[in-house]
Amino acid sequence: MTSAALLACATLVMGSLLYVFWPDRNVEAQNAKTRLEYLRERQEALYDNLRDLNFEYNSGKYPEEDYAAQRATLENEAAEVLAEIDLLEAGILGNHSAAAQHS
Amino acid sequence: MPAFGSFALVVALALSAWNLLAGGVALRQLATGSRGAFAPERLAETARRAGMASFFAITCAAFALVWAAFTNDFRLIYIAEHSNRALPWAYKFAALWSGQEGSLLLWAWLLAGYGLVLRMRHKVDVKLTAYASTILAGIQVFFLLLVNVAATPFSLVPGGVIPADGNGLNPLLQYPEMVIHPPMLYLGYVGFSVPFAFALGALMMRYPGEKWIHITRRWTMVTWLFLTVGIFLGMHWAYNVLGWGGYWGWDPVENASLMPWLTGTAFLHSVMMQEKRGMMKSWNVWLIFSTFMLSILGTLLTRSGLVSSVHAFAQSSIGTWFWVFLVIVFAVCLFTYILNRDHLKTEHKLESLVSRESSFAFNNLVLLLACFTILWGTLFPILSEFVQGNKVTVSAPFYNRVAVPVGVFLLFLTGIGPLLAWRSTSMRSVRKNFIVPGIVALVIAIAVIPLGVHPWTIFTTDHEGAFYAWVTFALAAFVATAIFAEFFRGARVIQRHSGQNLLRSVVQLTRRNTRRYGGYIVHFGVVLIFIGISGQAFNRSVEATMNYKQSMNIGPYRIECMDYSQDTNANYDSTYAILNVFRGGHRVTQLDPAIRFYQASQQPETMVANHSTPLWDLYVVYAGTDTTTGQPIIKAFLNPLVMWIWIGLIVTIFGTGVALLPNLSAALAAQRSRVAVTAEHEPVAAGRTGD
């Protein structure tokens, strides 16, 4: 092995070790996803579905009765999701205010 | 350089192994709440960085190999076997993937590249990305073990006897598309590792919701696009190099690339049901698992020489490694699935057979039926050899019997899917949306009959091609009309609200929902591809020995031999004919079909001459030389509609590009949020300046 190749190998090893093990103070926390975050995603997906349905109805793709039935189903699903979001948010707020009173 | 390249591969393996081990330990500690000498988050960060550093180490190795090819370093067995001094520089670069060792290095490098992007974008979901990164590291370790132990590209020639020149690149690979076709195909194969890693990681951690699909959507589409382009470049190469007049021969290696494409396409469709309605979760997980395993199988078939193929450019004993890896992957997937299958409970049931969901379900079943048929046919020679002791090869008619009706049915589903509503569609809605496409399909079905498309030949001859072509033309008209109707209806709504002209409204409509309308453009590309393929039913060919000024006729063309001669350069000798092509008495073009004989490898290669028009290709091959007269034997094919296959591919690429763009509303929202953030920060900044 030539000295240039040796130098290249040493640089590669040192560079890799320094990069991998150099202390970093801003390590990202691996938080688990909460139920609330999941519900907000679900809410967004349902709103997307409703927007699509409205647009397709306005474009004349579906008859009135199909549209009404589908809209009602989606709105019911969205209502259930929103109710659970409200419940969880109220619980979180309750916990925060209880913690504030204790302090 | 060889020593540096070899050493870089060892470093890459060590880094990937650390990524796998430290990442695995950190995830375990986080899941169980236990702690070791390092904080688990810190350990996970070193794992992530090791994964990123492995990319640079493998890049060094790849650079060392390319450098060896460019500097004619025949100390390396790999370079001596796959390159030579007279090889043009572009093909020297292609030598990186023309042999088994190099192509496995390319696999590892591309995987590390995908991993680099994934790990850099870890903030999108730190925990999920940590799982995906660790799974990718497991795959990376396998490929790096291969190139470090079983198929090392930096092996030196035994005894130190360096050859004066190399064997050269396989002549079949000395074609411009070969410089981009294998990397495209590999970008497709390797890319499916990313959605696979996310799906497996999401299942391992019982990830709530479908955000992992949202995260991997672009990865999957880009990967699918690469695989699509890779497959079509391979078809184009086969058409222009192999000289048999066709582009798809159901060769095992072609099949190997088609199988993950079929399951990947099924996944792209069925995943929408999971996003929209929380359905088919187990199905989707197994689709992406299967797609990844089929990608590995594809690499195995291409690289091990397990099956005979014109595309299998390597022979080796690495098959055992791949089979073991496939078994491990399957076992991990199955174990994870059994452990967490309750997490994949469907949120809704199929409500009606006439719905968007059912069209996706049928689409999936049909794609899987095609995939299973192709898998069976591809592996049949291996199975028959195992059972009977002799290889029984499955030929094109077996595949065509299934693939042609399946393809036609898929085209039908492509048309009806977008016209159906989610959940259920009333008969009134069906009538409303189907009537115009149905009428157009009927008109086209009648109109093509006087043009020579006679479906009744299926009853009078063994030839089914004309019947399927007739059905395809009618369905293509149906699907194209349905797609245009979707654009037209949507654009009219925009036009009513904005007052813009129809064209601007179409652009705005597409930008509002790029995924849907980009998807429709892709479907239109598929329609064009089907039209191009159906032309195959009407292919014609003639063959003749031609002297000076002799001519032969095919279709509307007259081909006249002007000259035939020989030429030589440092890389190859060539024998060619100069042919003038006339149509209606007017000279249309000159074609120069040739046969090249490569000096380094002592192998011949056909150079096809092709005059392509939207209606047909005049495809001419120098089939050989008459041994008694020395005159060229010319074979001419008239292949209708082939150009539409390549145009369809361009439309498909464009459509996928559109589908990858962010929606206009999302882009505007992001812009608004940037403006809001700037406005929020300005007074603070001003205050600080004031201080």
pLDDT at residue B459, rounded to an integer: 75
Helices (H), B499-638: 502-512, 514-534
Digit-coded pLDDT (tens) for B132-142:
999 999 999 99
Q: How far apart are CA B575 and CA B631, in angstroms?
A: 11
**B674 contacts chain A (CB < 8 A):** no
What is the total residue count of chain A? 103
CB atoms within 10 A of CB B685: 10
Q: What is the ipTM of this complex?
A: 0.81
Taking an 8 Å cut-off on Cβ atoms, the answer to whether B53 and A16 are in contact is yes
**Spatial CA neighbour of B67 closest among B58, B79, B55, B56:** B79
Taking an 8 Å cut-off on Cβ atoms, the answer to whether A63 and B428 are in contact is yes
Mutate one of B9, B277, B422 to test the A interface: name it (highest A CB count within 10 A).
Answer: B422
Are residues B390 and B319 in contact, defined by beta-carbon separation less than 8 angstroms? Answer: no
Q: What is residue B564's three-state secondary structure?
A: strand
- Can you read off the two tokens belonging to residue B435? 């009537």
Mutate one of B429, B430, B431 to test the A interface: name it (highest A CB count within 10 A).
Answer: B429
Q: What is residue B31's three-state secondary structure?
A: helix
Nearest-CA distance A100 → chain B (Å)? 28
Taking an 8 Å cut-off on Cβ atoms, the answer to whether A12 and B60 are in contact is yes
H or E element that contains B140:
helix B126-145
- Whether pLDDT at A102 is above 70: no
- Whether pLDDT at B252 is above 70: yes
**Spatial CA neighbour of B6 closest among A37, A53, A1:** A1
Taking an 8 Å cut-off on Cβ atoms, the answer to whether B432 and A63 are in contact is yes
Are residues B272 and B364 in contact, defined by beta-carbon separation less than 8 angstroms? Answer: no
Q: How far apart are CA B476 and CA B530, in angstroms?
A: 8
- Can you read off the two tokens belonging to residue B126? 């730190």
pLDDT at residue B565, rounded to an integer: 87
Q: What is residue B563's three-state secondary structure?
A: strand
Nearest-CA distance A89 → chain B (Å)? 18
Domain residue ranges in chain B: 1-169, 426-533+655-675, 538-644
- Can you read off the two tokens belonging to residue B286? 């197994």
Q: Average the pLDDT over B395-400 and give the result.
A: 86
Are residues B92 and B69 in contact, defined by beta-carbon separation less than 8 angstroms? Answer: yes
pLDDT at residue A100, rounded to an integer: 65
* Highest-pLDDT range among B34-38, B188-192, B306-310, B353-357: B188-192
Nearest-CA distance B210 → chain A (Å)? 8
Q: How far apart are CA B652 and CA B673, in angstroms?
A: 33
The separation between CA B124 and the C-alpha centre of its own chain, rounded to angstroms, equals 27
Q: What is residue B624's three-state secondary structure?
A: strand
Taking an 8 Å cut-off on Cβ atoms, the answer to whether B492 and A73 are in contact is no
Q: What is residue B425's three-state secondary structure?
A: coil
Of B122, B275, B493, the CB nearest to A58: B493
Digit-coded pLDDT (tens) for B483-534:
999 999 999 999 988 888 999 999 999 999 999 999 999 999 999 999 999 9
Q: How far apart are CA A1 and CA B258, in angstroms?
A: 44
Contacts of A32 in chain B (CB under 8 A): 127
3-state helix, strand, coil in chain B (%, to 5): 65, 10, 20
Are residues A52 and B512 in contact, defined by beta-carbon separation less than 8 angstroms? Answer: no
Q: Which of residues 425-444 of B touch A (CB under 8 A)?
A: 425-426, 428-429, 432-433
Nearest-CA distance A32 → chain B (Å)? 7
**Spatial CA neighbour of B107 closest among B79, B141, B73:** B141
Of A16, A41, A73, the CB nearest to B209: A41
pLDDT at residue B684, rounded to an integer: 40
Contacts of B209 in chain A (CB under 8 A): 33, 37-38, 41-42
Taking an 8 Å cut-off on Cβ atoms, the answer to whether B421 and A62 are in contact is yes
CB atoms within 10 A of CB B550: 13
Task: Write the single-letter amino acid at B620.
Answer: V
Exposure pattern of B35-58 as b/e (b: 16+ CB <10 Å)?
A: eeeeebbbbbbbbbbbbbbbbbbb
Q: Average the pLDDT over B622-644 and give the result.
A: 92
Are residues B43 and B36 in contact, defined by beta-carbon separation less than 8 angstroms? Answer: yes
H or E element that contains B621:
strand B616-625
Taking an 8 Å cut-off on Cβ atoms, the answer to whether B209 and A38 are in contact is yes
- Whether pLDDT at B682 is above 60: no
Q: Average the pLDDT over B356-382 and give the result.
A: 90
- Can you read off the two tokens belonging to residue B219? 């990865």
Q: Give me chain B's average pLDDT, please.
A: 88
pLDDT at residue B661, rounded to an integer: 93
Whole-number CA gyration radius for chain A:
27
pLDDT at residue B163, rounded to an integer: 84
Are residues B510 and B518 in contact, defined by beta-carbon separation less than 8 angstroms? Answer: yes
Digit-coded pLDDT (tens) for B568-581:
888 888 899 999 99
Q: How far apart are CA B421 and CA B426, in angstroms?
A: 9
Q: How far apart are CA B339 and CA B132, in angstroms?
A: 18
Q: How far apart are CA B294 and CA B259, in angstroms?
A: 7
Taking an 8 Å cut-off on Cβ atoms, the answer to whether B210 and A9 are in contact is no
Classify residue B485 by its DSSP letter. Answer: H
Residues 6 or more apart whose CB falls under 8 angstroms from that of B111 comprise B136, B139, B140, B143, B190, B193
Of residues B96 and B654, the one with the higher pLDDT is B654
- Whether pLDDT at B686 is above 50: no
pLDDT at residue A96, rounded to an integer: 66
Contacts of A19 in chain B (CB under 8 A): 49, 52-53
pLDDT at residue B578, rounded to an integer: 94
Mutate one of A3, A20, A49 to test the B interface: name it (highest B CB count within 10 A).
Answer: A20
Contacts of A29 in chain B (CB under 8 A): 41, 126
The separation between CA B461 and the C-alpha centre of its own chain, rounded to angstroms, equals 36
Q: How far is CA B504 from CA A60, B486, B509, B511, B521, in A?
A: 20, 15, 8, 11, 17
Residues 6 or more apart whose CB falls under 8 angstroms from that of B339 comprise none
pLDDT at residue B307, rounded to an integer: 67
Q: C-alpha angle with apex B80: B79 to B86, nearest 5 degrees?
A: 90
Of residues B96 and B149, the one with the higher pLDDT is B149
Residues 6 or more apart whose CB falls under 8 angstroms from that of B441 comprise B474, B475, B477, B478, B481
H or E element that contains B582:
strand B572-583
Q: Average the pLDDT over B627-640 and give the result.
A: 92
Contacts of A70 in chain B (CB under 8 A): 421-423
Taking an 8 Å cut-off on Cβ atoms, the answer to whether A28 and B428 are in contact is no
Q: How far apart are CA B394 and CA B287, in angstroms?
A: 26
**Spatial CA neighbour of B562 closest among B613, B609, B628:** B609
Q: Average the pLDDT over B4-24 and give the result.
A: 95
Mutate one of B121, B343, B423 to test the A interface: name it (highest A CB count within 10 A).
Answer: B423
What confidence category does residue B676 fall into, taking pLDDT thresholds of 50, 70 and 90?
A: low
Are residues B149 and B141 in contact, defined by beta-carbon separation less than 8 angstroms? Answer: no
pLDDT at residue B278, rounded to an integer: 84
Q: Average the pLDDT over B192-197 and give the result.
A: 95
Q: How far apart are CA B631 and CA B373, in angstroms?
A: 45
- Whether pLDDT at B313 is above 70: no
